[in-house]
Amino acid sequence: MVHWLLVIAYAVAMFVFAGKQESGAAVTAQFLAKWLPHLERAEIQHLVFWIRKAGHVAAYGLFTLLSFNALRVTSGLRRRALPGAVLLAFAVAILDEAYQMRLLHRTGAWSDVLIDGIGIGVTALGLYYWIAKREKEISQESVSENKEGPEC
């Protein structure tokens, strides 16, 4: 249950943050202009773009991981944890962008769902290899145990 509470809390936090004025690109640009006064406006805009896109990748990578963990410990969903986490993360990404399109201080864009997909995909790929490695280790342990067992 705790795993699902984390997933829900994280999703709610993303939506709450998106709804705040401070989440807009203009605020990020103001912050960077204050802390990096030597940069020109175009450089700041370029930096804002990359920081925000990196934020999308990181946020949805973490959401995918949290979702995977919740699905992995849920009875009946363990075997489908990875595809379920990917689908859930994409669904939230789509809802998030649809929500942002309705906000005055945000400009939701469907292309951001693709950016979110990078975080989702990289995390899913890492989890896929982690699962494969773990299954291989378990298989090798069971073969070892059978070889070391008593002979009949």
Alpha-carbon distance of 126 to 129, in angstroms, equals 5
Are 53 and 115 spatial neighbours (Cβ–Cβ below 8 Å)? yes
**In angstroms, what CA-CA distances link 82 with 14, 100, 107?**
21, 27, 30
* Global confidence as pTM: 0.86
pLDDT tens digit sequence for 8-22: 999 999 999 998 888
For helices 41-72 and 2-19, angle between their N-to-C axes, nearest 10 degrees: 160
Residue predicted with more confidence, 95 or 139? 95
